[in-house]
A and B are shown apart, each in its own frame.
Chain A
Amino acid sequence: MSGLVPVLIIVLAAIFGAVYMANVFRRYRRNIAVGGLVGAASATAGALLVMLPLNFCTFEPERQTIDRVFGFLLLAIGVGLVLWPVNWFIRQRFEGNPLFATQTQPGAFKGWLTPALLLLPTLAILAIFLYYPIFDTFSLSVLLARLGARRSVFVCVDNFTSLVTDPSYHNTVIITLFISFAIVIIGLALGLLVASMAYQPITGARIYRTLLIWPYAISPAVAGVIFLLLFNPAGGFINYVLSNTFGFSVPWLQDPTAARWAIIATSVWKSMGFNILFYIAGLQNVPNDLKESAAIDGANALQRFWYVTFPLLSPITFFLIITNMTYAFFETFATIDNLTRGGPLNATTTMMYRIYQIGFVNQDLGKAAAQSIVLFVMVIGLTVLQFRSTGSRVTYGA
């Protein structure tokens, strides 16, 4: 796109950046003009970062409002992506923090060639097989592209905006969150219950533990295969038990709600070992004297657990929430593919399963890439959360 609109947009971004950084410089009593210049430059760079690849297509006159809104959103993200680190860096300088001062460890080896060689394979693989595909996913997401097709067509942000208006995609997001939360809540509650029994020094503790945690090594695909037999409509064992003891059976794989619970049950079973393992470890690290003193204070077992033990377990709980969420997002794929294939009525189609179906079964690469990016944004959110709460345990800055 050419003409006045792109210039206007860039100028708008630059003014925002200039005002913002000038204000930062003012607060630190530095030269406001320099601040404005730095801000304008970074904001311009940020705006160009997102808008050049798109060729400002979201602001073309024939585009709809939703595209324009999306364009401004992207603009904000692009500006923020550059302005935020620049701002952070400059503040650290102004406050005189010894930023990135290489920590001198006694006895450290010297030279840069050896570490470069040591790190080269790792960095090369990460760059080629993680960083590059990210960029490629972004560039695919603005195309109408099919697997094995002769051509591809630039479609601006249509692959994204169509998601906003697609009720079946909303449904997929809701299902993903539902399944994830159910797996996390049920899995952690049961895991904690069992672990609070198994961590105690009782007879046969070691054997119990081994018998409890082995499903960690079972694959989600195998879990799906085994539960396919257990949930089988033609007379799976679970329905056999249900009808013999309670007099009813559930169409596990034919009813949308039941199928969703079948996936949740299978996933909880599979991730149980992991949850128990980490809760046992966490419970063993809770100092006994705290519990004992609470007991003396008159707290009963449940109160002791809730007010003393559970808060002390919160780092482990948080870690398990994140790992279980990741499991629910990605690893459930194999279970779903073997147990329900996303059905019935897409009731078990998670975001990841949909990416596979759209991208590889229906061969629509562009839409699959756009959906990957939505999922990517959600994962970034999760990771940021993870770092915020475990920051104390991971030390940065080499």
Chain B
Amino acid sequence: MQKRNRAFFLCLLLMGLVLAAPVAAQDEPIDVVAWFAFTDYRLDWLQEKAAAFNEQFPQYNVTIEGFANYEELFTSTTLAAEQNSLPAIIQYFEVATQDALDSGYFKPVAEAIGDREEINGVEVALDDIVQPASAYYTIGGQWSSMPFNTSSAIWFSDMNVLRAAGIEEPPATWGEVDAACEAIMALDNAPQYCWTFPNHGWFFEQWLGQQNALFANNDNGRSARATEVVFNSEAGLAVLEWLDDQAEKGYLYYSGTQGGGSWSTAQQPFLTGQVAMVAFSSSDTAPFTETGAENGLDVVASFLPYNEETGWTGNLIGGASLWLVDGLAPEVEDGALTFLLWLINTENAAEWHQVTGYIPIRESAVEMLTEAGWFEENPNFIVASEQLAQSEVTPATSGAVLGAFPAIRDIVTQAIDTVLLTDEDPATVLEQAAREANQTLEEYNLLNAPEE
């Protein structure tokens, strides 16, 4: 470690020299590379923004590189860190937060900003960030990363089908989903299945949080480091049993390809009318609404249905934040910070929301959009923000922070898969998943946790 650090600093020194010389001499722009977990229209949007940024700030050259998904980017980051070839900015999904903090790859953005109020003329407006995001990404009272794309799990319904079945409102609870499905499947031209979701561990976390149940001990890892998962509770079992029941009744379409957690294979059946309803991330409100309308659907977004027996406490955020790599040359770091702040300025935050469906990350952007009448015209787009705003803030609804969470989420995804695809008893499956998760967590904490 020691040796590598020395080599690293030597590299930095060299890099600094190499970079500093031309800057002074001929105004060569400073390269800032950012890694994002998008390969679709969102990558195009980011690349357009980077081009606009480079024009506005000719001293920098921001490049955006796309990765297929969060998991892949997470793996790539770990591998790149081993090779000392990290870029300047990395988009990490929310479950990687503990790993990111333990890894030492990153510098808290608050520390990098210091007491500056603007960088290169871009305002530092962290107090303008909406509450759910600031709750998740300030750890120990400090901004560790820059919120960017924040979402929540919501519910989309094709009201044309629901109304045909005599249902006027999207279902709000599990029981209402069941009742709606019974009516829908009894239709003459019933869809193949009633509803689907990308069977991804994130939804399990959402349904757990709604019931105010914890995922991990120590207040979901927020009062102290999580040392054990506790999702194998009654609430956790209720989720699996409900899904099992829905699948058995033929209501739930199994969407999991590619090892589970495949989003597009849950989105497609809804947009093509194979299912009438879908649980999805609010991140795709725009394509759902637009493509849905093109395909003749009446797409209405609503809160994610909850377990009426335990009631609704609130929902978790999802999505990712932007992390600043530690040990950058000062001018690169400033360039990266400038880009981060600029990327979530009011106009960009509002545009990003409109293009995708991620919640507007700044209060000023919400105001701007409200004044322009955006939410009145597009009611689907306010659902996620409202669902988060109405959520009671408890450790359960704040979301878990624990080590090896990406691997543990994968274990949960596998458990959902097992319940949906086999006859195994949900209780056994859940216990088995908890055992595996605990072993993973224990090993992680043993090797990765900093000395107390």
Interfacial residues, chain A to chain B (CB-CB below 8 A): 144-153, 233-234, 251, 253-254, 256, 259, 339-346, 360-364
Check B254–A254 contact: CB distance below 8 A.
yes
* Cα(A363)–Cα(B270), bound, Å: 35
Q: Across the interface, which residues of A come within 8 angstroms of B407, CB to CB?
A: 361-363
Check A343–B81 contact: CB distance below 8 A.
no
Q: What's the interface size class on B, roughly?
A: 20 to 34
Check B440–A343 contact: CB distance below 8 A.
no
Check B421–A256 contact: CB distance below 8 A.
yes
Q: Across the interface, which residues of A come within 8 angstroms of B260, CB to CB?
A: 343-345
Check B447–A344 contact: CB distance below 8 A.
no
Q: A146-B444, A152-B447 are in contact. List 11 more A-B contacts (CB 8 A).
A: A147-B82, A148-B78, A148-B81, A151-B447, A254-B256, A343-B259, A343-B417, A344-B259, A344-B260, A345-B414, A346-B259
* Cα(A4)–Cα(B392), bound, Å: 64
Closest to A255 in B: B421
Please encode chain B, from 151 to 192, with 1 for each CB lying within 8 Å of some chain A CB and 0 for all others.
000000000000000000000000000000000000000000
Check B448–A149 contact: CB distance below 8 A.
yes
* Cα(A361)–Cα(B406), bound, Å: 9
Closest to A362 in B: B407
Closest to A152 in B: B447
Check B71–A361 contact: CB distance below 8 A.
yes
Report if B450 contacts A (CB, 8 A): yes
Residue of B82, B255, B421, B443 with highest tally of chain A CB at under 10 A: B443
Q: Across the interface, which residues of B come within 8 angstroms of A340, CB to CB?
A: 257-259
Check A345–B78 contact: CB distance below 8 A.
no
Of A151, A233, A360, A363, the contact of B268 (CB 8 Å cutoff): A233
Q: Across the interface, which residues of B come within 8 angstroms of A152, CB to CB?
A: 447
Check A234–B447 contact: CB distance below 8 A.
no
Of A149, A342, A360, the contact of B447 (CB 8 Å cutoff): A149
Report if B103 contacts A (CB, 8 A): yes
Of A234, A251, A360, the contact of B79 (CB 8 Å cutoff): A360
Report if B272 contacts A (CB, 8 A): yes
Interfacial residues, chain B to chain A (CB-CB below 8 A): 71, 75, 78-79, 81-82, 103, 254-260, 265, 268-269, 272, 404, 406-407, 410, 414, 417-418, 421-422, 440, 443-444, 446-448, 450
Check A150–B421 contact: CB distance below 8 A.
no
**Given known contacts A144-B447, A147-B78, A149-B448, A234 and B268 CB-to-CB distance under 8 angstroms:** yes
Q: What are 11 A-B pairs with beta-carbon distances under 8 A?
A: A147-B79, A150-B450, A253-B257, A254-B254, A259-B257, A344-B257, A345-B414, A345-B417, A361-B75, A362-B404, A362-B440
**Pairs A-B, 6 closest by C-beta atoms:** A343-B259, A253-B257, A149-B447, A341-B259, A341-B258, A362-B407
Check B256–A344 contact: CB distance below 8 A.
yes
* Cα(A146)–Cα(B259), bound, Å: 23
**Given known contacts A254-B255, A360-B75, A344 and B421 CB-to-CB distance under 8 angstroms:** yes
* Cα(A360)–Cα(B79), bound, Å: 8
In the complex, the number of residue pairs spanning A and B with C-beta atoms less than 8 Å apart equals: 87
Check A150–B258 contact: CB distance below 8 A.
no
* Cα(A342)–Cα(B262), bound, Å: 13
Check A343–B258 contact: CB distance below 8 A.
yes
* Cα(A350)–Cα(B404), bound, Å: 23
Closest to B254 in A: A254
* Cα(A363)–Cα(B260), bound, Å: 20
Q: Across the interface, which residues of A come within 8 angstroms of B268, CB to CB?
A: 233-234
CB distance from A251 to the nearest CB of B (A): 8
* Cα(A147)–Cα(B444), bound, Å: 10
* Cα(A340)–Cα(B258), bound, Å: 4
* Cα(A136)–Cα(B426), bound, Å: 41
Q: Across the interface, which residues of A come within 8 angstroms of B421, CB to CB?
A: 256, 344-345
Closest to A353 in B: B259
* Cα(A251)–Cα(B257), bound, Å: 10
Check B75–A146 contact: CB distance below 8 A.
no
**Given known contacts A150-B450, A233-B268, A254-B256, A346 and B414 CB-to-CB distance under 8 angstroms:** yes
Q: Across the interface, which residues of B come within 8 angstroms of A144, CB to CB?
A: 443, 446-447
Q: Across the interface, which residues of B come within 8 angstroms of A251, CB to CB?
A: 254
CB distance from B297 to the nearest CB of A (A): 16
Check A145–B447 contact: CB distance below 8 A.
yes
Closest to A234 in B: B268
Q: Across the interface, which residues of B come within 8 angstroms of A147, CB to CB?
A: 78-79, 82
CB distance from A356 to the nearest CB of B (A): 9
Check A234–B265 contact: CB distance below 8 A.
yes
Of B82, B258, B417, B446, the contact of A148 (CB 8 Å cutoff): B82
CB distance from B155 to the nearest CB of A (A): 21
Q: Across the interface, which residues of A come within 8 angstroms of B410, CB to CB?
A: 361-362
Check B257–A254 contact: CB distance below 8 A.
yes
* Cα(A197)–Cα(B199), bound, Å: 48
* Cα(A259)–Cα(B254), bound, Å: 14
Residue of A144, A339, A342, A345 with highest tally of chain B CB at under 10 A: A345
CB distance from B237 to the nearest CB of A (A): 20
**Given known contacts A340-B257, A345-B417, A360-B75, A150 and B448 CB-to-CB distance under 8 angstroms:** yes
Closest to B440 in A: A362
* Cα(A134)–Cα(B220), bound, Å: 41
Q: Across the interface, which residues of B come within 8 angstroms of A361, CB to CB?
A: 71, 75, 406-407, 410
Residue of B71, B81, B417 with highest tally of chain A CB at under 10 A: B417
Q: Across the interface, which residues of B come within 8 angstroms of A364, CB to CB?
A: 443
CB distance from B407 to the nearest CB of A (A): 4
Closest to A344 in B: B256
Closest to B260 in A: A343
Q: Across the interface, which residues of B come within 8 angstroms of A259, CB to CB?
A: 257
Closest to A144 in B: B443
Check B272–A234 contact: CB distance below 8 A.
yes
* Cα(A254)–Cα(B447), bound, Å: 36
CB distance from B426 to the nearest CB of A (A): 15
Closest to B261 in A: A343
